[in-house]
Amino acid sequence: MKARPAKAPPIPAHPGVTVLEDEVVWDGRFPLQRVRFTYTRFDGSQSGELVWELWRRHAGVAVLPYDPVADAVALIEQFRLPALAAGLDPIMVECPAGLREPGETPEAVARRETLEETALRPDRFELICETMLMQGGCDETMHYYAARVRLPQPGEAGTHGLAAEHEETRVLVVPAEQAFAMLDDNRIRNVTAMVCLWWLRHHRARLRQEWA
């Protein structure tokens, strides 16, 4: 019998939840489980039987590099196949981001991904929030950080990414007000960058005092 993949552990026990069947139906880079279960409803009654597919991606980290002196952020552009499948422009404007390896702290991931995808070296971090991206079908949790950096001139940012992963990220150095305008005009179409920029809009004045 094939051993259960470590990336797809069984659903943990929880009061009111009865797991009737839990099987791994795809064991790729990100496993897919099919879970048959019931749960206790708000009125105390038992729900009907449900069958959900669960995509196991675990934990990720996203970073908004911010230069309080230049009052500008570093965003990235990269090709995203799922965006193309959704009928959107596949070149997405995003924040640097990546997945956590076992035993790796969120801040360590933030530092690593910022360096890999922008060549910037943050010297200070502030946690924005911890949240879920797709609670209807995926277990991925995200830590969002703001990172203090010294940004290059707009024409000097270049492209980066891990060659071994065929990754290419183009860095955009954007003044904060321009980034907020992109947010308001819906030119940024992913929730990670949206959350980080909304947070920066609220905390920007404080960061310019504390981080400058």
- Strand partners of residue 146: 64, 126
Q: Is there a catalytic annotation at residue 53? A: no
Query: Among residues 101, 126, 165, 168, which one is catalytic?
Result: 165
- Strand 59-67 to strand 159-160: parallel, antiparallel, or no bridges (unpaired)? unpaired
The residues, any chain, with a CB within 8 Å of residue 103's CB and separated by 6 or more, are none
Residue type at position 165: E
Contact status, residue 208 vs residue 71, Cβ threshold 8 Å: yes
Alpha-helical (H) ranges within the chain are: 81-85, 106-118, 176-184, 191-211
- Name the residues annotated as catalytic: 165
